[in-house]
């Protein structure tokens, strides 16, 4: 009994506890995986911690379906995530879940990074692969918590693709002015007001577009049913509140949900170029960026945006006028220039000429 090659790969045929002990057979894709399995089982047997491997014959698609029926359906994006997981499983070949390993995913990731996205003439991005890894890992992690899966999470400890931090994209004041002028020309009756709500409150486009009259009260917009389920209330100018009420229903939705394309056309008319995925979201970034540039408090900004953690908000801190401002005066060139400007009396801004006598 040892490791041998079979039709489906490499089979580890071992008795970890020695002759007379329970016999275990397990087939793997590679010889190295079979050897690792044998080593792990014998090590556990030597330490007295060995128990027969759990008989687990479910395939990955079955686990995904289990995850969705037990937990995934409760998520706001549950159905969408389920669709993505189904696609991942199909591309992986729906393996036996017990045989699926972190190495399998890394090979899948390498191949996937060279593929083009469906319906787009672009390569799959590293960020997309990081999301796929998170979704798949969550399936195993959730089922482990529910005691539905008794083996380890194969993706635990697998590092994600490291991404370069992207520059913050926001609109300058002249761009905002041009955009508002372009929005005024739109035949869509809602797009200008929705945009003003986003620029005034930092709301996501979907949050502003779905506003109901009942959410506008006491000089604030009360956002509920948000992306992260966290409710928040943001003060608005009296004029914006009046415009939100003028000619609008007193209850129910304030806007229709067909303004996205009207906004796209307005951006094009204004001559503004935005990166992919930053169309309407640039309004939220613009609010946050100008809030910080106007010396707004980063902790208050966290609450305004409804971020769950401060780490999500801190990226705007670099735009603060005081952020790292002393780099201007505390660099070596600044010190040299200051020394060169020493006046005839020998002192300026606290500097003393080396050849000047010091008098009490």
pLDDT, tens digit (0-9, with 9 covering 90-100), for 238-281 = 999 999 999 999 999 999 888 999 999 999 999 999 987 789 99
Confidence of residue 115 (pLDDT cuts 50, 70, 90): confident
pLDDT at 120: 64
Residues 179 and 296 in one domain: yes
> Which residue in the list 227, 253, 323, 330 is annotated as catalytic?
227
Active site annotation includes 245? no
Active site annotation includes 177? no
Within-domain flag for 55:
no
Does the CA dihedral 49-50-56-62 come out positive or negative? positive
pLDDT at 346: 53
Residue of 190, 168, 197, 180 whose CA lies nearest to 319:
168
Active site annotation includes 204? yes
Residue of 78, 18, 85, 95 whose CA lies nearest to 50:
18
pLDDT at 164: 81
> Which residue in the list 68, 135, 291, 316 is annotated as catalytic?
316
> Which residue in the list 284, 290, 291, 302 is annotated as catalytic?
284
pLDDT tens figures, 70-106: 999 999 899 999 999 999 999 999 999 998 999 999 9
Residue 44 CA to residue 64 CA, distance in Å, equals 30
Per-residue pLDDT at 327 exceeds 70: yes
Active site annotation includes 227? yes
Active site annotation includes 250? no
Within-domain flag for 167:
no
Residues 258 and 191 in one domain: yes
The answer to whether residues 151 and 37 touch, using CB atoms and an 8 Å cutoff, is no
> Which residue in the list 212, 222, 260, 281 is annotated as catalytic?
281
Residues 195 and 99 in one domain: no
In total, the chain counts a number of residues equal to 360
Per the structure, the count of domains in the chain is: 4
Residues 187 and 270 in one domain: yes
Residue corresponding to tokens 């190495």: 103
Full DSSP string of 148-217: S--S--TTTTPPPPP-PPPPPP---HHHHHHHHHHHHT-S-SSHHHHHHHHHHH---HHHHHT-BGGGEE
Within-domain flag for 114:
yes
pLDDT tens figures, 116-158: 766 666 788 899 999 999 999 999 999 999 999 989 999 999 9
> Which residue in the list 81, 204, 290, 302 is annotated as catalytic?
204
Residues 189 and 302 in one domain: yes
Domain range for 27: 3-46
Residues 278 and 185 in one domain: yes
> Which residue in the list 260, 264, 307, 315 is annotated as catalytic?
307
Active site annotation includes 316? yes
pLDDT tens figures, 151-195: 999 999 999 999 887 778 999 999 999 999 999 999 999 999 999
Burial level of 213, CB count in 10 A (0-12/13-18/19+)?
A: middle
Residues 195 and 298 in one domain: yes
Residue 144 CA to residue 160 CA, distance in Å, equals 21
Within-domain flag for 155:
no
Within-domain flag for 161:
no
């Amino acid at each position: 009994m040892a490791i041998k090659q079979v039709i489906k790969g490499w089979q580890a045929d071992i008795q970890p506890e020695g002759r007379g002990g329970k016999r275990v057979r397990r087939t793997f894709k590679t010889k190295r995986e079979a050897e690792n399995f044998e080593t792990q089982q014998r090590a556990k047997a030597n330490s007295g911690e060995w128990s027969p491997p759990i008989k687990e014959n479910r395939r990955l698609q079955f686990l995904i379906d289990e995850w969705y029926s037990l937990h995934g359906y409760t998520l706001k994006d549950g159905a969408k995530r389920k669709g993505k997981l189904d696609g991942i499983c199909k591309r992986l070949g729906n393996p036996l879940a017990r045989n699926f390993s972190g190495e399998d995913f890394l090979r899948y990731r390498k191949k996937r990074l060279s593929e083009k996205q469906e319906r787009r003439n672009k390569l799959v991005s590293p960020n997309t692969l990081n999301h796929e890894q998170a979704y798949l890992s969550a399936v195993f992690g959730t089922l482990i918590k529910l005691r539905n899966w008794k083996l380890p999470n194969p993706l635990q400890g697998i590092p994600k693709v490291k991404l370069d931090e992207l520059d913050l994209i926001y609109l300058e004041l002249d761009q905002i002015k041009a955009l508002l002028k372009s929005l005024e020309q739109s035949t869509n009756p809602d797009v200008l007001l929705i945009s003003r709500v986003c620029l005034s409150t930092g709301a996501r486009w979907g949050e502003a577009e779905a506003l109901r009259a009942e959410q506008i009260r006491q000089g604030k917009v009360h956002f509920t049913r948000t992306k992260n389920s966290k409710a928040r209330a943001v003060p608005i100018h009296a004029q914006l509140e009046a415009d939100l009420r003028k000619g609008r229903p007193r209850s129910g939705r304030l806007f229709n949900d067909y303004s996205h394309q009207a906004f796209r056309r307005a951006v094009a008319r204004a001559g503004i170029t935005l990166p992919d995925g930053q169309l309407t979201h640039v309004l939220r970034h613009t609010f946050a960026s100008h809030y910080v540039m106007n010396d707004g408090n980063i902790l208050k900004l966290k609450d305004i945006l409804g971020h769950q953690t401060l780490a999500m908000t801190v990226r705007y801190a670099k735009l603060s006028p005081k952020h790292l401002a002393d780099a201007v005066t505390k660099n070596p060139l600044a010190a040299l220039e200051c020394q060169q400007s020493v006046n005839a009396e020998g002192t300026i801004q606290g500097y003393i000429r080396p050849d000047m006598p010091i008098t009490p």
